Chains A and B, each alone.
Chain A
Amino acid sequence: MTLLTLKDFGVTRRKREVLRDVNMTVDQGELIGIIGANGAGKTTLMRAAMGLIDSTGHSSLAGLPPHARGRAVAWMPQSREIAWPVDVETLVRLGRTPHIAAGQRPQAEDFAAVERALLRMDLGALRGRTATRLSGGEQARVLIARALAQETPLLMADEPIAGLDPAHQIATMRSFADLASEGHSVIVSLHDLGLAARHCTRLIVIDKGGLAADGPPQEVLSAARVRETFGISAYFKTTAEGPIFQPLEVVA
Chain B
Amino acid sequence: MMRLMLILTVLVGALFVAALAAGPANIGLFESLGALVGGDAGPLTLVMREIRLPRALLALMIGGGLGLAGAAMQGYLRNPLADPGLIGVSSSAALGAVLAIQTGLSASFAFGLPLAALVGAVIGVVLVLVLAGPRGSSLTLILAGIAISALAGALTSLVLNLSPNPFAANEIVFWMMGSLADRSMTHVWIALPLILLGAVMLITLARGLDALTLGEDAAEAMGIGLRRMRLTLIFGTAAVVGASTAVAGAIGFVGLVVPHLLRPFVGAQPGRLLWASALGGAGMLLAADIVVRVVLPARDLKLGVVTALIGAPLFLHLIYRTRREGL
Contact = CB atoms under 8 A, between A and B. Distances in A.
B267 interface: yes
Nearest to B203: A103
A70 B269 CA distance: 21
Most chain B CB within a 10 A radius of its CB, from A76, A90, A97, A100: A97
Interface string B211-235: 1111101101111110000000000
A66 B269 contact: no
Interface residues of B, number: 23
Given A94-B210, A94-B213, A85 B327 contact: yes
Contact of B223 (A47, A66, A132): A66
A36 B207 CA distance: 36
Contacts of A67: 223
Interface residues of A, number: 34
Given A75-B221, A97-B222, A98-B223, A81 B214 contact: yes
A103 to B, nearest CB: 8
Contacts of B213: 81-84, 86, 91, 94
Interface in B17-53: none
A82 B327 CA distance: 11
B269 A90 contact: yes
Contacts of A102: 204, 207
Contacts of A87: 267
Contacts of B211: 94, 97
Interface string A48-86: 001010000000000000111111011111010111111
Given A86-B268, A86-B269, A132-B327, A52 B217 contact: yes
Most chain A CB within a 10 A radius of its CB, from B212, B215, B263: B215
A127 to B, nearest CB: 13
Nearest to B219: A97
Contact of B222 (A81, A143, A150): A150
A77 B215 contact: yes
Nearest to A76: B218
Contacts of A199: none
B75 to A, nearest CB: 8
A52 to B, nearest CB: 6
B218 A85 contact: no
Interface of B: 78, 204, 207, 210-215, 217-218, 220-225, 263, 267-270, 327
Interface of A: 47, 50, 52, 66-71, 73-77, 79, 81-87, 90-91, 94-95, 97-98, 100, 102, 132, 143, 146, 150
19 contacts: A47-B217, A52-B220, A66-B225, A70-B222, A74-B221, A75-B218, A76-B218, A77-B215, A77-B221, A79-B215, A82-B213, A83-B213, A83-B214, A84-B270, A87-B267, A94-B211, A95-B222, A97-B207, A98-B223
The 6 closest A-B pairs by CB, nearest first: A70-B223, A81-B215, A75-B221, A83-B78, A84-B268, A66-B223
